[in-house]
Amino acid sequence: MEKGLVSIDRWVKGSQAYFLTHLHADHTRGLSPLWTLGPLFCSPITARLLPSRFPGLDSSLIRVLEIGLTHSITLISKCSGSEVHILVTPIDANHCPGAVMYLFRGEFGTVLHTGDFRWELDSERAQLARRNLLDALGGERVDLLYLDNTYCHPFFSFPTREVAAQQVVDFIKQHPNDEIIIAVDNLGKENLLVYISQALGVKIWVWPERLKTMHILGLDDIFTTDTSLTRVRAVPRYSFTLDTLEGLNTICPTIGIMPSGLTWGSLAFEKDIGYVGLSESEGHSGEKSKNNRKRSTNGNIKLAGDQIKPPWKFQEYSYSFPYSDHACFSEIQELMRTVLPKNVFGIVSASSFDIHPCHHFDNLNCELCTVSGSEISTKVRGNHLDASFRNKLNRRAVLHQNLNRSNVKCGRHLQPSASKTNRNEGCTEKG
């Protein structure tokens, strides 16, 4: 596609149409309530959430695209001055509420931008997304795939969110006398909270802004801002620190739950970074015991591959569960097989795992793209990357070893500096 026509999650001058995949902050950098640069295309749910994120945003610029339908857009080529017809099909990305992928078709070829996505094909929702995608493709391959490569490495293996949610529920049930806090962002992981609420028959505390978001999403009776009503609270991830947990534990026993795909991989396991089997975990006693710390290194069960069982105790009071809103490697693999991209470009370039996606998909006959800014500038074959690939893998291994050591030292590296106070007391305090 020629330059100057469309931007996806990119909010700078120079395009005629702007597409938003979802409302996470790292995809809206540059977008502000003063936005005037062009029409903003998004899904219906994103459109409903937009005013709360960007109060005063000119609503006449918002173009709502129904998911699964193909929409026709006409733009003007800056090169030739002639009309450019673009077909765009938003596909449910199964990431956070409102998140979509965009499939673009036109004379330029077929381009799929996944935004951030999950691809759990045993869920009906993802099956429908896959059908919509295949229908829109009509048997064609994707020429250029912009891929959510967050977990694009065989290293990353974790279960579906439903399985992970059940693991969280089982864990909470095993700790009936503890307060529970769960780290979440401003958007996403709602289904985990709903699942917990329904399984345990409790409401979930959220901070006031988050409650507004829940109401916009139509989740009316499950959440509360009254801490006296429940022992389960969702708190902003940035307030989820060792300091916060220690502080809370001086008042009453409190366990932190970190839902994330980040730490769930087979390499981490080989390096023995301290997974704790579910049956091995024990009731939280509230004591800052060296025993507990020992448990995360000495008491873990060594399992292999998909036998890994959460939770992983990564801090004195905190456990990680493999609940991820990003696709694991096998799901990325499935998407690649579905669209058979001729060229691939990873959209998460800041990741330490920025090995090019094609490295893992030699058999797909796809080109390796590197980028300069937002423009695709060169295309080279992938095999020469072996050295850097190994380096990055080694770096990751060292990283996880360090992580392990830090855990033994009670997460020293995660402690905020002594001068810092808890920035979000209001979100975590009792009463």
- The two three-digit tokens of residue 119, written as one number: 């691809």
Burial class (CB within 10 angstroms; exposed 0-12, middle 13-18, buried 19+) of 30: middle
- Find the shortest distance in angstroms from Cβ 143 to DNA: 25
- Tell whether residue 104 is a contact of DNA (CB under 7 A): no
CB of 185 to DNA, least distance (A): 4
| Amino acid identity for residue 330 in this structure | S
CA torsion through residues 119, 122, 123, 127, sign = positive
Query: Between 132 and 260, whose beta carbon lies closer to DNA?
Result: 260
DSSP label at residue 383: G
**How far apart (Å, rounded) are the C-alpha atoms in residues 170 and 211?**
25
According to CB under 7 A, which one of 48, 71, 141, 237 is a site residue for DNA?
237
Selected from 131, 134, 135, 238, the binder of DNA by CB under 7 A is 238
Among 26, 83, 124, 220, the residue binding DNA under the rule CB under 7 A is 26
Establish if 417 lies at the interface with DNA (CB under 7 A): yes
Nearer to DNA, 304 or 350 (CB): 350
Interface characters, 63-102, with DNA (x: CB under 7 A) = --------------------------------x-------
Q: Which residues, in sequence order, are CB contacts of 417 under 8 Å at separation 6+?
A: none
Contacting range for DNA; rule: CB under 7 A; set: 121-129, 197-205, 217-225, 410-418: 410-418
Q: Are 178 and 253 in contact (CB under 8 A)?
A: yes
- Give the pairing type, strands 62-64 and 40-42: parallel
- Report the residue from 128, 211, 385, 414 that binds DNA according to the rule CB under 7 A: 414
Instruction: Single out the residue of 5, 325, 344, 428 in contact with DNA (rule: CB under 7 A).
Output: 325
Nearer to DNA, 379 or 423 (CB): 423
Q: What is the number of residues in the chain?
A: 431
Question: What residues numbered 30-59 form the site for DNA, per CB under 7 A?
Answer: 30, 32, 34
Consecutive H or E run containing 200: helix 190-200
Cis status, amide bond into 311, omega within 30 of 0: yes
Asked if 217 interacts with DNA (CB under 7 A), we say no
Note whether 416 binds DNA by CB under 7 A.
Answer: yes
**One of 2, 25, 125, 287 touching DNA (CB under 7 A):** 25
**Residue 353 makes contact with DNA by CB under 7 A:** yes
Amino acid 398 reads: V
End-to-end CA distance of the chain: 56
Burial 298-314 (b: 16+ CB within 10 A, else e): ebbeeeeeeebbbbbbb
Q: How far apart are CA 345 and CA 1, in angstroms?
A: 14
Task: Please give the residue ranges that form the binding site for DNA (CB under 7 A).
Answer: 24-26, 30, 32, 34, 95, 116, 150, 185-188, 236-238, 240-241, 260-262, 324-326, 348, 350-353, 395, 399, 403, 413-417, 423
